[in-house]
Amino acid sequence: MRFGNASIMIINTTTIDTGDYTCYFPELNGGLTFNITLVVGSVPKPIVTMSKVTDSGVQLKCEVQGAFPKPELRWQNCDGNIFDAEEAEISERDGRYHITLQTTVTSTTTTCFQCVVQQKDLNHETGSTITVPEKPFVDPCGKVTIEGLMTGIVVGAGLLVLVLVLLVFFKFITVRRVRAGTQKTDGDNETNEPLKSEHITV
């Protein structure tokens, strides 16, 4: 105090220590009062998962458990471009916030995405990154799905079998007609001219 310096150290703080503190000096210049607001924050690193893969895109989920004060969450790619997200699911238990934020990303030029958690009151920010497997998106203009490829193979094989059956059928008819033209008539020693077939066989 003789050097004009007074300090109080609070150790092992928890979120319940958050509040307004007053320091009063009754004998300093007729009495002086100093006020300070203490905010004890807590936010674990968010958990990010790929919850669902559909034809429309990939659904990503970000979960924060036990944060204080209430943070803001956002989804962005690793270049910093922010994505639209669903409305956040927020619940509060024992003064702590549990938040889930989901977004669906469609075909993009990157597979790296981040969930960022920001506490503006504390000027604090943290986040987690997830890498989606190489392009699980389906581009209807430039890519063929496995199901579509298999369907095309089955349909093509069916058409090929049908064409072969028709070719064999018409060739059989052509042979029978030609053989019928080579038979001899009674009393005629000459063989008739074979009937000409107008069918072309392959």
Q: Are residues 114 and 154 in the same domain?
A: no
**Domain-located, residue 77:** yes
Confidence of residue 88 (pLDDT cuts 50, 70, 90): very high
Among 91, 66, 73, which Cα is nearest to 14's?
A: 66
31-48 pLDDT, tens per residue?
Answer: 888 898 888 888 889 999
**Domain-located, residue 68:** yes
Contact 133, 60 (CB under 8 A): no
Answer yes or no: is pLDDT of 90 > 90: yes
Q: Which residue, 131, 159, 186, sits at the end of a domain? A: 131
Could you tell me which residue, 61 or 13, shows the higher pLDDT? 61
| Cis before 194? omega within 30 | no
Domain extent at residue 34: 1-40
Average pLDDT over residues 161-181: 59
Output the six-digit token pair for 98.
């549990």
Average pLDDT over residues 70-78: 93
Q: Are residues 102 and 84 in the same domain?
A: yes
How many alpha carbons lie under 13 Å from residue 97 in its C-beta half-sphere? 20
Alpha carbon distances (Å) from 40 to 11, 14, 32, 90, 91: 11, 6, 26, 20, 20
Q: Are residues 36 and 81 in the same domain?
A: no
Q: Are residues 123 and 92 in the same domain?
A: yes
Q: Which residue, 131, 155, 181, sits at the end of a domain? A: 131
pTM equals 0.56
- Report how many domains make up the chain: 3
Name the most confidently modeled range: 49-53, 54-58, 185-189: 49-53
Could you tell me which residue, 4 or 133, shows the higher pLDDT? 133
> H or E stretch including 116?
strand 112-119
Confidence of residue 91 (pLDDT cuts 50, 70, 90): very high
CATH number at residue 102: 2.60.40.10
> H or E stretch including 155?
helix 146-180
Q: Which residues pair with 96 in a beta bridge?
A: 93
In whole angstroms, what is the distance from residue 78 CA to residue 135 CA?
16
**Domain-located, residue 136:** no
